[in-house]
Amino acid sequence: MCSIFGYYSKKWQKAHIIDGTKRALEITKYRGPDFSDYLYFDKLNLALGHNRLSIIDLSPKANQPMGTEDKSLWIVFNGEIYNYLEIREDLINKGYRFFSKSDTEVILKAYKEYGYEFVKKFDGMFAFCLLDLQKRKLILARDIAGEKPLFYYFDGKNFIFSSELKQILIQQIRPIFDFSKVNFYFALGYLPHDMSFFKNTYKLPPAHMMIFDFESNSLHLQPFWEIPSFEKSMPEKELMESISEILKKSVKRRMISDVPLGAFLSGGIDSSLTVYFMKEAGAQKIKTFTVGFEGSSKNETEYSKIVANSLGTDHTEIIIEPDFEKALEEIADTIDEPIYDSSLIPTYYLCKYVKNYLTVALSGDGGDELFAGYIHYLSSKLCSKLSQYMPCFLRKIFYFMGSFLPEGYFGKNTLMGIGEGNYGCYTNQTQIFKEGERKKLIPYLNEHETPLRLKKALMEKYSGDFINKMSYADYHINLQQILVKVDRASMMNSLEVRTPFLNKDLIELSFRNISGDLKLKENKTKYMLKKLAKSKFPPNFPVDRKQGFDIPKDFLVKTNLMAKLKELPHVNFLNEKYITNLLVLQQKGKGNLWNKLFAIYFFKRWYLKWIE
């Protein structure tokens, strides 16, 4: 795991580009503390930089930027290619020789052999830039799920790419703030797909490759993979066997490491199955970690203990009464794009503690999106069925009733969802601030391009049932926010996190061959995974509970979040009276508004640091 950076300019000279590259590497040193270097290519006026966290092949031969023996190809790479040994063997059989044991060199020589098709061969999490000096092109690519970040800036005179947004923001180009994206953040809690808060600045979307041509000074984007449409659901028995076989293979591949490796274990199904298959793959005395909260009613480490005892892991319970106020400050100061999710705090603490023992940890992220694990799948399905049998006037009454309930009240989203019908059932359950609330928060809101249209467009693009359509939208929006959270929390502590559920074969199986009726069955979320877990764990393992590393709401009080929010200076386009009203409602206990307040706090902290 690392950070990468590249800077090409038709405007600035060598000294400026090198200085910008050095500063970009220094500001993300925590992502790769083991080695840092850059190369300047005089004929192109281009610099490539890299910070390395050594995971595979710890020798200097695997340092980056890395070039081929003839110096015609160069690469900076962040991530891991889990099937690199198989690809390496194929290339050796074709006559290639290797000077290192790294997966980085495999990428270089795979490109040499297969051209632009090379990226389709990789099972991994990755963001890289490959320089082809003979063709005078840069080839950038990002993994199919978007586990590893990759930003870029292009204004016709400057092209910059980076692992984190702040590496671009500290440059003298000074990107312009894009107000239109505020609407998306307060609806979704994150900017999905290619969006960023700055003009001419984008994320390379997951499963995309981008080519920058020095001759024409142009960019070309193209997808190299897409989620398949639904075809036919397999029988339950076959599905169980396929899921088990794919997960076992995926976990085994993700255990390749030259440094200490273990796993997060929340006691939920996804992380428990991950650890189970680690043992199946032959791991002995797996180091597992879970986080709990001293004195909290949500301290459920007993469930992770059941799994740990069952599998005989070397288990550590991290029971914390941490300085949440300090953690909140540290995270807000480091993260360069706002994220609403308060579970950033326990994830950060977990990674900080685990780093004392490991450099690589496996997690269960992705299972909820692939197998319908969220409660909004159940409620949205119920709303959708009810709305189908209601006349229009009755749906309007339900919507009217819901709209008058105070914010944060139980049932508000359900009533409004029934009133809006099929897609509304889902979108109302999965927004932080609904459209009417956003208009109160942001009086000058422009609704020309709305987050709801984005979600609806995603659901309409996928040809499958309603449950799978929701899953498809969550994969492209909710999962992206989770992956950013995990990437930043882990990388702040120089820890690599790997996600076996985000394997291409499992993703394709989930969307192509598992119907919504098998993902959501007997009024149970994640039916297939629960059935699999029942076959693997003792009878006292509670398969019907869901637990992640969420922060208990009573502990949010200890962050002094409300006081901190009051202390922050005003942001000119946010309605401070509305924010004050939310604070008063929360203080009086009228609704659960913590996510809204957390989203506002993080946005204001970010805006005041990076914009004002």
Q: Which residues are catalytic?
A: 2
Q: 573 in helix, strand or coil?
A: coil
Half-sphere exposure of 155 (CA within 13 A, CB side): 17
The amino acid that residue 327 corresponds to is A
Residue 302 to residue 174: CA distance in whole angstroms:
50
The answer to whether the Cα torsion of 181, 186, 191, 196 is positive or negative is positive
Q: 489: closest CA among 354, 598, 331, 595?
A: 331
Q: 240 in helix, strand or coil?
A: helix
Is residue 192 a contact partner of residue 484, using CB atoms and an 8 Å limit?
Answer: no
Q: Running DSSP on this structure, what letter comes out for residue 537?
A: S
Q: 538 in helix, strand or coil?
A: coil
Q: Is 361 exposed, middle or buried (0-12, 13-18, 19+ CB in 10 A)?
A: buried
Is residue 470 a contact partner of residue 459, using CB atoms and an 8 Å limit?
Answer: yes
Neighbours of 558 (CB within 10 A): 16
Residue 56 to residue 256: CA distance in whole angstroms:
8
Q: 371: closest CA among 173, 548, 507?
A: 507
Residue 256 to residue 252: CA distance in whole angstroms:
7
Site of tokens 């297939």: 528
Is residue 360 a contact partner of residue 257, using CB atoms and an 8 Å limit?
Answer: yes
Neighbours of 360 (CB within 10 A): 25
Is residue 457 a contact partner of residue 423, using CB atoms and an 8 Å limit?
Answer: no
Residue 8 to residue 595: CA distance in whole angstroms:
40
Is residue 286 a contact partner of residue 261, using CB atoms and an 8 Å limit?
Answer: no
Half-sphere exposure of 280 (CA within 13 A, CB side): 18
Q: What is the DSSP string of 491-520?
A: HTTT-EEE-TT--HHHHHHHHHH--HHHHS
Residue 162 to residue 303: CA distance in whole angstroms:
40
Residue 187 corresponds to which tokens in the numbers above?
A: 């609806």
- As beta bridge partners, residue 209 has 141, 222
Cis status, amide bond into 65, omega within 30 of 0: yes
- As beta bridge partners, residue 480 has none
Residue 114 to residue 119: CA distance in whole angstroms:
9
Q: 313 in helix, strand or coil?
A: coil
Q: 319 in helix, strand or coil?
A: strand
Q: E strand or H helix at 361, and its extent?
A: strand 360-362
